[in-house]
Amino acid sequence: MISLEMIEREISELEARETSYKQCERLSVLYTVRDHLLPRKKDELTTYLSGSEFLELASGVSYPALMQVMNEHMQTLSILQPRVYQSILDKIRDLRSQVM
């Protein structure tokens, strides 16, 4: 298992060497893994997504778990409020087209 200490050690070793594209690529991967292993403070999460109770709560949970909850409610919404449901899907499609 990879530990935070191992990653930090490898980062330090690579940063001490002369810079090359290969080292930058490796550092990029290590920085990303390190950032995901470091515990985040609640303030850091809510600063990124704030403005409503939903966004603040959603910032602290795993994406797949959040999407499962949202999917359950979207199914209900599709039955009770089909126009609202379709509007949400249209907005998501627009967001997807901006990314692609």
Determine the pLDDT at residue 51.
76
Report which secondary-structure segment, H or E, holds 78.
Answer: helix 63-80
Stronger pLDDT, 84 or 3, i.e. the higher one: 84
Determine the pLDDT at residue 100.
65
**Helices (runs of H) and strands (runs of E) counted in the chain:** 6, 0
Domains of the chain: which residue ranges?
A: 4-37, 42-99
Give the residue carrying structure tokens 């979207």: 74
Digit-coded pLDDT (tens) for 11-63: 899 889 888 889 889 989 988 888 877 765 544 444 456 678 888 788 777 78
